[in-house]
Amino acid sequence: MFRNLTSQLAAASGANATDTKKVLSPSLRPDIYNLVDNTKTWIIGGTSAGQAGDGVSYGPILAKIQAHIPETRKPGLEAFGQAEGEIAVVVGGITNMILELSKWEGLSSGMAMRTWVDSLVEAHSKASSESRKEAIAKGVTRGLNQFTDVSRLTKDFTTRIGIISCLKTVSSRIYGAGTDEARQSEAMWSSKFI
């Protein structure tokens, strides 16, 4: 009698085995910082670990991103072996990881985004040639504008404004303040407040 009553109460309250509440992965924050470091050297290139555009070295980076954001997909055949396409997918994936972190840890996600933005700008400035810098700039911009899922961003206003403010500065720091790319990026990220 009591077993039947408790099972009926549990069923009525919705507490059954199929209900799962999403929780923060304990390795998300350390993986973000590890990926930020690895990605910066990968974007710059010239190391034995490979570089963006070689068609294979993004694999370990992408695998770690997919452990937290499974819907992140490999670059398509049109981007295979092109630095811009590979950078775009990786930049979007890591940015999504930071946005996911913002749901649980506002302050640390803001700091992670600042570190990520600084890393991207530094990687662009340390590129060896102008054509490489251009590919990095286009890949970063494309990754932030097309592959970033803003629905992952927290609803907390303070954290939200801090993260979006960081993202608004990327294009102006890469392309220069007042350029078309910087204005477009700022307008796009400003619209995310709405």
Percent of the chain with pLDDT over 70: 82
pLDDT tens figures, 129-177: 888 899 999 999 999 988 888 888 888 888 888 999 898 889 889 888 8
* Residue 76 lies inside a defined structural domain of this protein: yes
* Residue 114 lies inside a defined structural domain of this protein: yes
As a whole number of angstroms, the distance between CA 30 and CA 98 comes to 11
* Residue 47 lies inside a defined structural domain of this protein: yes
- The pLDDT value recorded for residue 127 is 84
* Residue 66 lies inside a defined structural domain of this protein: yes
Helix (H, G, I), strand (E, B) or coil at 96: helix
pLDDT tens figures, 30-64: 999 999 999 998 888 766 667 877 777 788 888 99
Per-residue pLDDT at 118 exceeds 90: yes
CB atoms within 10 A of CB 80: 13
Average pLDDT over residues 15-29: 66
| pTM beyond 0.85 | no
Can you give the residue range of the structural domain that contains 53?
Answer: 26-193
CB atoms within 10 A of CB 150: 16
